[in-house]
Chains A and B, each alone.
Chain A
Amino acid sequence: MTDRPYRPSNGTEGAIFEERWCQRCAREDVDKDDLCDIHGNALFGDPPTEWVYKDGKPTCTAFTVDARCEPRCDETMEMF
């Protein structure tokens, strides 16, 4: 079964997704304004097939950890 595609429903939701995935992904160089193809397509072209719901959460299946800014752990409980 294929995963259900994810589309941000508004700009704020899109910005939250970008902060969680794109800005922490090795495929993208924020310092050089270098968007990856998937992110670029999401903004200007075809909806990317890599953006899907996994376990009910928006996910990018092409995400590659950028050692400089690893993502926040979704499984760890929150203090506040």
Chain B
Amino acid sequence: MTKPTTTGLTITRADLIRALAATSKVVESRNTYPILANVHMQAQDNRLTVRATDLDIEISTSVPCQGALDPITAPARTLSEIAKKLPDGADISIEPTGETLIVKAGRSRFVVATLGADAFPDIAPAELPHRFTTDLGALLGRVSFAISNEATRYYLNGVYLHNPNGKLTAVATDGHRLGKITGAAAQDLPGVIIPTKMVGLVPLGDVEVELSDTKIRFSYGDTVVVSKLIEGTFPDYERVTPKNNDKTATFDRRQLLDTTERVSIVASDRGGKGVKIEVAADSATLSVRGENDAAQEDLPCEYGGDPFEVGYNARYLGDILRAYSSDKVTFAWRDSCSPALVTGEGDALVSVIMPMRV
């Protein structure tokens, strides 16, 4: 066993909370391996680096401190609770002693069990050949509503990032609805599927992204996040994206969303919240028929075609409408059994929603 070469460090409460909050997002509440409930800590050159992983994602961040600490791991939740309960402005000292950490601040003293750092997994990749800077969070966040949570179709449990036509494009689908958004021009990239948990960790604003066929890393400030990618083939989504839907109706987005939410109050909660949309000249009627109840509401729309009706799952329809920020949304249909294309005025997001039988 290596003899410790350092005696510990002192850090402000705010910095320790910041480091633990940034990394603990990836720590699961239940773990098969006890060490995954711990954070890896190491301090040198007056910087404390904290690292956590769930074996698929690793987050590391560094904060200023005084002193040094050889690599050690300690329970993330316990350290976070201690730091949060200490008074504002406290200076916290952390000293390794045998197989424990002594955490002290003011009159408080805690003894925290540790595990050896040697067993802490490291998923950091050796090489990530593709590098670019972009507002990745804005792209992924806009299509995340369509990510599947079906374990059996694991290749849909994330966002597909690729660059058709030289532009960075994010796509997500669960087979019932699809969201696609195109961003800035990008270099040649492999098409990759970013897992759902990673999607939730990407902040808004520019981040530096590094990519290989199997892993992605993004960095912002003092924080670096590495994730394994989903290995699988994303379906050919262009094949199901309607190209020639000629029945178009434009709605006030907020009004359509509010109406959908109101009429679906009476729907059953067994996954069958079907809302029927009947469009005629410049007006639409939304209706829902529950087991014993019914609801109906009219709203204006811009439509000049033959009367037409189609049904959607109210939750899917609501999710899509909430994903847009534009005042107007346009639905383009071919018939009531085909996918509809949804676009927003001046919005790069394009969605597809499948109909249901109502």
Contacts and interface: CB of A to CB of B under 8 A. Distances in A.
Contacts of B269: 64-65
Interface string A7-36: 000000000100100000000000101000
A58 to B, nearest CB: 13
Contact of A76 (B151, B152, B316): B316
A73 B173 contact: no
A46 interface: no
A16 B96 CA distance: 48
Interface residues of B, number: 31
Given A31-B29, A31-B30, A76 B315 contact: no
B175 A79 contact: yes
Contacts of A31: 29-30
A73 B272 contact: yes
Interface string B226-243: 000000000100001000
B354 interface: yes
Contacts of B273: 73
Please report whether the interface of chain B is mostly helix, strand, loop or mixed according to DSSP: loop
Interface string B137-162: 00000000000011110000000000
A73 B356 contact: yes
Contact of B173 (A75, A76, A79): A79
A31 B352 CA distance: 33
Interface string B165-207: 0000000011110100000000000000000000000000000
B177 to A, nearest CB: 8
Contact of A73 (B29, B149, B316): B316
Interface of A: 16, 19, 31, 33, 63-65, 69-80
19 contacts: A16-B152, A19-B150, A19-B151, A31-B29, A33-B30, A65-B270, A70-B271, A73-B271, A73-B272, A74-B271, A75-B272, A75-B274, A76-B313, A76-B316, A77-B337, A79-B176, A79-B235, A80-B235, A80-B240
Closest 6 pairs (CB-CB, A-B): A76-B356, A75-B356, A73-B313, A79-B240, A71-B271, A65-B269
